[in-house]
């Protein structure tokens, strides 16, 4: 894991004894700590605690995690191997329920394991590692394509407001929404980024500002509540966000606070774009009300940096994500192209 790339994860070794190296994102920006993940328990804890996070990145973690989970069954017969495969896949996919990429990637690697189990468990494990690596390669290419499509929409010197973290740390590639910013910067468009701090876990302040400042892209951090005043000041020409799950009609789940930004953007006449790969779409759901929303602990809201900030025992409302309705989204930028206007018909036309 090099200083420059800030990769969220890296598989080290072969399928039988390899381990997953994770950059612990909870320690950023103060420490770059690499964790050596060797068991399913360790990986589930890392995903739940957001040591690895962001929809595409947790998809990659789940894909490699299934290989880790089956290492102990490399000598098992096909029936025992597939039983263990099913149980590990069910467990991993459920750790964070909103992001489509996690369940999608785990299911894809599990299907590969099932298909190869007749050749022997060690062979199946090897095929699963190859499948996880293929998902990672495809994901990197998708990020690059989204970045190209998105940067083509941008003008010089735009103020871009973003929420949460959608860069390399969240994706494993160059990013989704932040990938567009990096591409615009590389094209000489000089984007000026405004990063919502993104309470309660501060992915915007800790991670987005970190990635951008390392790449020398100008970035200003703001409290989430300052977004309306910033838009009213005329300094924002575009809002770019990622997504954790997009339904057949284009409704998009993303980090809590995204929906509010979309309402504000509409009120100020500012284009609002969602940037996400096809692996984030869930066409089995007609609309966003069906997306399962992860609820997280009150402690995240009632404490700040380990210090209590609310009376002991007070209730907290802490959904990790909200859903932005399609009618508030100017376009969805996907690796296959740009969906605009956003509707069931236009999503189907691009994604089938």
Catalytic residue among 41, 77, 224, 244: 244
Q: b/e map of 257-289 (b: 16 or more CB within 10 Å)?
A: bbbbbbebbeebebbbbbbbbbbbbbbebeebe
Span of 8-16, 118-126, 242-250, 326-334 interacting with ligand MRU by CB under 6 A? 242-250
Q: Is residue 238 at the binding interface for ligand MRU, with CB under 6 A as the rule?
A: no
Task: Sort residue 34 into left (φ over 0), alpha (ψ -120 to 50) or beta.
Answer: beta
User: Which residues in 203-232 contact ligand MRU (CB under 6 A)?
Assistant: 203
For ligand MRU, which is the closer residue by CB, 166 or 247? Answer: 166
Least Å from the CB of residue 263 to ligand MRU:
17
- Rule CB under 6 A: choose which of 8, 54, 62, 159 binds ligand MRU: 54
- Regarding 185 and contact with ligand MRU (CB under 6 A), the answer is no
252 in contact with ligand MRU (CB under 6 A):
no
Measured between its terminal Cα atoms, the distance across the chain in Å is 37
- Establish whether the linkage from the previous residue to 242 is cis, with ω within 30° of 0: no
Q: Is 244 in the site for ligand MRU (CB under 6 A)?
A: yes
Stretch that binds ligand MRU, among 34-42, 51-59, 181-189, 343-351 (CB under 6 A): 51-59
Smallest separation, CB 211 to ligand MRU (Å): 12
HSE-CB for 66 with a 13 A CA cutoff = 42
Q: Tell which residue, 220, 208, 201, 206, has the closest CA to residue 321.
A: 201
Of 229, 200, 242, residue with least CA distance to 54: 242
Beta bridge partners of 130: none
Omega into 200 within 30° of 0, i.e. cis? Answer: yes
Among 256, 345, 329, CA closest to 295: 256
8 Å CB contact between 56 and 171: yes
Q: Which residue is at the shortest CB distance from ligand MRU?
A: 242
Q: Which of these ranges, 59-67, 85-93, 149-157, 165-173, lies near ligand MRU under the rule CB under 6 A?
A: 165-173
Determine, following the binding rule CB under 6 A, whether residue 320 of this chain makes contact with ligand MRU. Answer: yes
- Listed ranges 218-226, 239-247, 262-270, 344-352: which one lies at the site for ligand MRU (CB under 6 A): 239-247
Q: Is 255 in the site for ligand MRU (CB under 6 A)?
A: yes
> Can you tell me which of 139, 171, 252, 324 binds ligand MRU, judged by CB under 6 A?
171
Q: Confirm or reject binding of residue 136 to ligand MRU (CB under 6 A).
A: no
CA dist 219 and 237 (Å) reads: 15
Site for ligand MRU contains 254 (CB under 6 A): yes
Q: Would residue 196 show up in a list of annotated catalytic residues for this protein?
A: no
Cβ atoms of residues 261 and 164 within 8 Å? no
Residues that bind ligand MRU (CB under 6 A): 50, 53-56, 99, 164, 166, 170-171, 176, 203, 242-244, 254-255, 320
């Amino acid at each position: 894991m090099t200083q420059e790339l800030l990769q969220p994860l890296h598989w080290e070794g072969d399928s039988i004894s390899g381990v997953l190296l994770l950059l612990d994102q909870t320690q950023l920006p103060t420490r770059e700590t690499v964790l050596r993940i060797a068991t399913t328990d360790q990986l589930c804890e890392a995903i739940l605690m957001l040591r690895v996070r962001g929809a595409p990145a947790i998809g990659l973690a789940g894909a490699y995690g299934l290989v880790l989970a089956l290492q102990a069954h490399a000598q098992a017969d096909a029936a025992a191997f597939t039983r263990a495969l099913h149980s590990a896949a069910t467990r991993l996919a459920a750790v964070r329920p909103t992001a489509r990429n996690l369940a999608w990637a785990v299911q894809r690697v599990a299907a590969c394991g099932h298909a190869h189990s007749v050749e022997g468990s060690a062979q199946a494990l090897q095929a699963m590692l190859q499948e996880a690596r293929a998902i990672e390669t495809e994901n990197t290419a998708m990020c690059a394509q989204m970045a190209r499509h998105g940067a083509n929409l941008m003008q010089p010197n735009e103020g871009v407001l973003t929420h949460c973290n959608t860069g390399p740390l969240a994706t494993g590639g160059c990013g989704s929404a932040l990938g567009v910013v990096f591409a615009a910067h590389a094209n000489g468009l000089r984007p000026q980024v405004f990063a919502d701090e993104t309470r309660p876990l501060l992915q915007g302040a800790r991670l987005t500002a970190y990635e951008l400042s390392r790449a020398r892209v100008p970035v200003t951090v703001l409290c989430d509540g300052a977004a309306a005043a910033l838009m009213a000041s005329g300094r924002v020409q575009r809002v770019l966000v990622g997504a954790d799950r997009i339904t057949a009609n284009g409704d998009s789940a993303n980090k809590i606070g995204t929906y509010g930004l979309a309402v504000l953007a509409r009120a100020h006449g500012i284009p609002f774009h969602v940037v996400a790969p096809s692996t984030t779409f869930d066409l089995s759901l007609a609309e966003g009300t069906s997306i399962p929303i992860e609820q997280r602990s009150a402690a995240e809201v009632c404490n700040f940096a380990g210090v209590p900030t609310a009376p002991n025992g007070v209730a907290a409302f802490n959904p990790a994500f909200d859903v932005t309705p399609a009618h508030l989204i100017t376009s969805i930028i996907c690796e296959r192209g740009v969906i605009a206007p956003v509707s069931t018909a236009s999503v189907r036309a691009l994604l089938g």
